[in-house]
Structure 1
Amino acid sequence: MKKIFFLALAGLASLQLNAQNIDKIITREYTDHLIKTLSSDEMQGRKTFTPGIDKAATFIESEFKKIGLQPLTGEKNFRQTFYKYQVANVSKTIKIDGKEIAPENLMVTGITTESVTLDKSNTTIVKLDPEKPFVAQFRAMLNTNKNQIVLIDSKFADLFNRYRDHFSKPTTVDEKDIKATTSVVQVFVLGKDAATDFSATFKSKVTQMPLFNVAGVIPGKSKAKELVVFSGHYDHLGVLKTVDGDSIANGADDDASGTTAMIALAKYYKTQKNNERTLIFVAFTAEEIGGFGARYFSEKLNPDDVVAMFNIEMIGKDSKFGKNTAFITGYDKSDFGKILQKNLAGTEFTFHPDPYTEQNLFYRSDNATLAALGVPAHTISTDQIDVDKFYHTVKDEYSTLDVENILSTIKAIAKSATSIVNGIDTPTRIPKLK
Structure 2
Amino acid sequence: MKKLLLSLTILGTALYSCTPKIGSLINVSEVERIETVLSADDMKGRQLFSPELDKAADFIAGEFQKSGLEFFGENDSYLQSFNMLLATPAQVNGNLDQEALSGSNVMVNSTSESVKVNSLTDYELVKVAKDANFTQLVSPLLRSEKNVVVLIDPSHASNFARLARSTGRAKFPTDYSQVFIITENLNPRSLALTVTNTVTKQPLKNVVGVIPGKSKKDEYVVFGAHYDHIGIGRPDANNDSIYNGANDNAAGTTAIMMLGKYFNKLKDNERTLIFVAFTAEESGGFGSTYFSKQLDPDKVVAMFNIEMIGTDSKWGPNSAYITGFEKSSMGEILQRNLVGSKFHFEPDPYPKQNLFYRSDNRTLAELGVPAHTISTSKMEEAPNNEPNYHKASDEIGTLDMDNMTEVIKAIALSSKTIISGEDTPTRVEKLD
Query: TM range, normalised to the smaller chain?
Result: 0.7 to 0.9
Paired residue for 2:267, among 241, 255, 273? 273
| Aligned AA (2:316) | G
Post-superposition Cα deviations, 1:86-133, rounded to whole Å, max 9, x if no partner, equal 112345578999999997x64623344334577888899999766777
**What pairs with 1:19-98 in structure 2 (closer than 5 Å)?**
21-90=21-90, 92=92
**Partner residue, 1:237:** 230
How far the C-alpha of 1:184 sits from its partner, in A, is 4.1
The Cα offsets for residues 142-175 of structure 1, whole Å up to 9 and x where unpaired, read as 799654664515xx665555x15525x6332332
Give the aligned partner of residue 250 of structure 1: 244
CA distance in 2, matches of 1:407, 1:247: 28
Counterparts of residues 236-385 of structure 1 (less than 5 Å): 236-244=229-237, 245-385=239-379
State the distance in 2 between where 1:92 and 1:262 align. Answer: 46
Question: Aligned pair 1:185/2:179, yes or no?
Answer: yes
SS of 1:240's partner is: coil
Distance 1:97 1:361, change over 3 A: closer
Shift of 1:75: 0.9
Using the size of structure 2 for normalisation, the TM-score is 0.82
DSSP-derived class of the 2:254 partner: helix
Counterpart in the other structure of 2:220:
227
| Structure 1 match to 2:390 | 392
Letter of the 1:22 counterpart = I
Question: Letter of the aligned partner of 2:372 in structure 1?
Answer: H
Rounded Cα–Cα distance in structure 2 between residues aligned with 1:393 and 1:75: 36
Whole-angstrom CA distance in 2 between matches of 1:53 and 1:354: 31
Give the SS at the match of 1:171. coil
Report the CA distance between 1:257 and its aligned residue. Answer: 0.6
- AA of the residue aligned to 2:337: N
Asked whether the equivalents of residues 126 and 148 of structure 2 are also in contact (C-alpha less than 8 Å), the reply is no
Number of aligned residue pairs: give it. 415
Q: 1:404 to 1:126 in 2, by over 3 A?
A: closer
Q: Relative to 1, partners in 2 of residues 1:126 and 1:301: Cα closer, same or farther, differing over 3 Å?
A: closer
Give the Cα separation in 2 of the matches to 1:29 and 1:119.
Answer: 64
Q: Please tell me whether the aligned partners of residues 127 and 152 of structure 1 are also in contact (alpha carbons under 8 angstroms).
A: no
The RMSD of aligned alpha carbons is: 3.7
Alpha-carbon distance, 1:231 to partner: 1.0
Partner of 1:166: 165
Which residue of structure 1 lines up, in the alignment, with residue 402 of structure 2? Answer: 404
Aligned letter for 2:275?
Answer: F
Identity, in percent, stands at 44
CA contact (8 A) 2:157 2:182 kept: no
User: In structure 2, the residue corresponding to 1:238 is in which secondary structure?
Assistant: coil
**Structure 2 CA distance for partners of 1:20 and 1:187, relative to 1, 3 Å:** same
Match of 1:108 in 2: 107
Question: Please, which runs of 5 or more residues in structure 1 have no aligned partner?
Answer: 1-8
Pick one of 146, 151, 154 that aligns with 1:152.
154
Q: Counterpart of 1:418?
A: 416
Change (3 A) 1:24 1:122: same
Contact 1:89 1:170 (C-alpha < 8 Å) held by counterparts:
no
The Cα of 1:15 is off from its aligned counterpart by: 12
